[in-house]
Amino acid sequence: MNYCYFESPVGKLLLTGNKLLENLYFPLGKTRVEPGKDWTYNPEKFMDIILQLEAYFKGELTRFDLELSITGTDFQKKVWQELVKIPYGETIFYGELAKRVANPKASRAVGMANGKNPIPIIIPCHRVIGKDGSLTGFGGGLNVKKRLLYLEKKYKKQ
């Protein structure tokens, strides 16, 4: 497994993958991971991803254009495919996301799939919020979710 770190405004992100990006981990929260002893530090492997993340955090990139290696169930992949369709700087409710995957009563299952997203930010699970407008679960912590949404709204207005 190759890995590198990316210093972002929301903390030091860990990028991992073999041939393509497979995971993005936050420095805090329930998804925090440390590199394995057999992993190879290889920032060159992630240069395109790093450049796009830099542009995203500067407000210059609103949609990532990367090949990813995603592992998950068919349902999870369907949810993640819908997440990338949520426009930059906008949010939707879990119920709306459930409708978009043609399963309107599956809000809870959609939330679980959202929580298993292996590549947050690039697959923008932070753009899904509670029906009452509240920020709900996020692997990097609610503070990070709040900061990502703020960043997108700030740059979208410019």
Tell me the catalytic residues.
Answer: 125
What lies within 8 Å, CB to CB, of 1 at 6+ separation is 16, 17, 18, 22, 35, 36, 38, 39, 40
Residue type, 71: T
| φ, ψ of residue 57 in degrees (nearest 5) | -70, -15
Classify residue 112 as exposed, middle or buried by CB count within 10 Å of its CB (0-12, 13-18, 19+). middle
Both structure tokens of 151: 């960043």
